[in-house]
């Protein structure tokens, strides 16, 4: 049947033996190569379907890149080396839009959402710390009380580009009846630390900011009756059929269990 399909005789047959023709000798290694390719393609398809291979696009906020994202990438590469991880830095609101449009598979976002079409779980909880210039009187304090920040110049977060942090800090001060002086409103933590270093004011930043190691800036713990916790959530659409999402979520779950409490 194969010879008929090819229009070439591959075997010399006699009553006593069967031998390859010259065409058969040339055809055999190519046929074996094609069989190996077919087996490899089938294996690749099975591994992609099981979430062991393929590609996944992950959105992340800038601040998540200070500490959690590097740990995630390292752990995910170890667990799923054949999944191509494509990274997209964007603010949380842009990630929600990209999730809906299918431009990213999973997002690392701040919990500013209430969308039934999305699934999520918390992967990081960390405290706020005070960032102060090294020559500021509060830079040597073992702990800083909110009352110590009354009327202090503060560099805080933009209510537009960093709404989650803006609300968190504003609520914290309001709960203690503290009225700081907001000198600047900035969207990114690393930019805020730069202004702290310049002496523009103090700031409240997530613990992960310690990884930036800004020379001339000291981070001090806050003495709070109830902790002001910064959260980072993993979020995805359950209707997304990419099998690699489940693989990433397993890695995220393992990392979340290993994160020290706030």
Mean pLDDT of 34-63: 72
What is the chain's mean pLDDT, rounded? 88
The Cα–Cα gap between 37 and 18 comes to: 27
Q: What is the pLDDT of residues 122-169, one digit of tens each?
A: 999 999 999 999 999 999 999 999 999 999 999 999 999 999 999 999
With 80 as the cut, is the pLDDT of residue 36 above it? Answer: no
Provide the pLDDT confidence category of residue 41 given band limits of 50, 70 and 90: low
Q: Which residues contact 72 (CB under 8 A, 6 or more apart)?
A: 251, 252, 255
Mean pLDDT of 72-76: 97
Mean pLDDT of 58-81: 96
Mean pLDDT of 233-242: 95
Q: Which residue has the higher pLDDT, 2 or 120?
A: 120
Q: Using alpha carbons only, how large is the chain's radius of gyration in Å?
A: 29
Least confident interval from 1-5, 59-63, 246-250: 1-5
Q: Which residues contact 64 (CB under 8 A, 6 or more apart)?
A: 108, 124, 208, 232
């Amino acid at each position: 049947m194969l010879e008929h399909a090819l229009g070439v005789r591959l075997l010399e047959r006699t009553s006593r033996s069967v031998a390859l023709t010259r065409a058969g000798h040339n055809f055999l290694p190519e046929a074996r190569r094609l069989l190996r390719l077919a087996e490899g393609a089938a294996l690749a398809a099975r591994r992609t379907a099981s979430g062991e291979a393929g590609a996944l696009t992950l959105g992340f906020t800038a601040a998540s890149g200070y500490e959690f994202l590097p740990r995630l990438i390292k752990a995910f590469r170890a667990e799923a080396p054949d999944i191509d991880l494509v990274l997209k830095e964007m603010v949380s609101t842009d990630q929600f839009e990209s999730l809906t449009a299918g431009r990213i598979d999973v997002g690392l976002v701040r919990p500013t959402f209430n969308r039934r079409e999305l699934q999520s779980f918390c992967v990081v909880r960390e405290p706020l710390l005070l960032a102060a210039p090294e020559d500021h009187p509060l830079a040597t304090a073992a702990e800083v009380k909110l009352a110590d920040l009354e009327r202090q110049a503060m560099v805080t977060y933009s209510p537009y580009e960093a709404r989650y942090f803006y609300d968190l800090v504003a609520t914290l001060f309001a709960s203690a009846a503290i009225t700081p002086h907001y000198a600047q409103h900035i969207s990114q933590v690393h930019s805020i630390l730069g202004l702290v270093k310049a002496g523009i004011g103090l700031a409240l930043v997530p613990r992960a900011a310690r990884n930036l190691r800004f020379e001339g800036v000291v981070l001090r713990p806050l003495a709070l009756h109830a902790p002001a916790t910064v959260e980072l959530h993993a979020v995805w659409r359950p209707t997304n059929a990419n099998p690699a999402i489940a693989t990433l979520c397993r890695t995220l779950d393992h990392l979340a269990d290993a994160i020290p409490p706030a």
